[in-house]
Amino acid sequence: MTTDTAPRLSDPTEAIGRIETRAEPILPDRVAALAATLGLDTLPRAGDALPAGWHWLFFNPFVARGEIGADGHPKLGGFLPDTGLPQRMWAGGRLRYLAPLPVGAQAEKQSEIIDVAAKSGRAGRLVFVTVRHRISTGGRLCIEEEQDIVYREPPAADAPRPVPAAAPEGAERSAEVRPDPVLLFRYSALTSNGHRIHYDQPYATGEEGYPGLVVHGPLIATLLQGFAAQMRPGAQMTGFSFRGMAPLFVDAHFRLEAGAGEAPGALSVWARGPAGELAMKAEATFA
């Protein structure tokens, strides 16, 4: 692995253009572990194309204990800038699937910070960091992704919670998901995600103000991509864009739903929370 790093910045926009490169094999045993975690009957084997969204298993830094922040993430100020805001989450992203990424292949991921923007919202000051990832094997670009990360101030104890939008009605197909603490723990372990909101109940409720353990945004997006692929058997997914709208929590069942997309041949998919709220919205395109 090679990394272009810099000290903590007073102006996080100076991180724009920073590049980090990591290389590792797409290990079949980790792919098999995710298949087992999701309860799938079949699993991709060496040489098969990695399913959409499963690349998030790889290229995640497992840093030394002294480099971990209070939230369980690696400390800011290395590749990702220190924005001065303590809470962060993955807000959404856009993916292009350009070529199959084979299970067992040696792969490389190049990440570049392409934008840092400060905004103000109902929750206070926000900073959005956009990172572009390119994953390749054997000199062939397989996946290109833009990831949106949002940093925010802790909400005030008496601040009213925003009312989420309602999920769309009239789904063509729907499937129930039952998240439990073991699912969240195993997905955290497989993706080297130490964020404590996913497994540390006292931290999630006491420090970040959630009512319970939070279901991972990438896990929801992975489930939605698998759900979309089931609706287009034999078709190649070429793109997937998604945005988190409201958090989902452990032991609260939610649904994956789908309908016609905005573009011709596209599929709109979303996650409906237990109270009918729109938790994540996405669109998948196919060749």
pLDDT at residue number 123: 63
Q: Is the dihedral of CA 257, 280, 100, 193 positive or negative?
A: negative
Query: Which residue range forms the structural domain that includes residue 116?
Result: 1-160
Same-domain check for residues 52 and 177? no
The maximal CA–CA distance of the chain, rounded, in angstroms, is 54
- Its pTM stands at 0.91
Same-domain check for residues 129 and 13? yes
Predicted confidence (pLDDT) at residue 85 exceeds the cutoff of 90: no
Contacts with 268 (C-beta within 8 Å, 6 or more apart), sequence order: 168, 258, 259, 260, 261, 262, 281, 282, 283
| C-alpha angle 64-130-35 in degrees, rounded to nearest 5 | 60
Residue 33: give its domain's CATH number.
3.10.129.10
pLDDT at residue number 33: 97
Same-domain check for residues 172 and 85? no
Torsion, CA 96, CA 99, CA 104, CA 108, rounded to 10: -60
Same-domain check for residues 63 and 125? yes
Amino acid at 19: I
**Based on the structure, what is the number of domains in the chain?**
2
Among residues of the chain, what percentage have pLDDT more than 70? 93
Last residue of a domain, one of 129, 160, 191: 160
Residue 262's pLDDT band (cuts 50, 70, 90): confident
Output DSSP code: residue 115: E
pLDDT at residue number 2: 45
Helices 217-231 & 181-190 angle (0-180, nearest 10): 90
Residue-wise pLDDT for 62-71, tens only, equals: 888 998 888 8
Residue-wise pLDDT for 93-125, tens only, equals: 999 999 999 999 999 999 999 999 998 867 678
Q: How many residues does the chain have?
A: 287
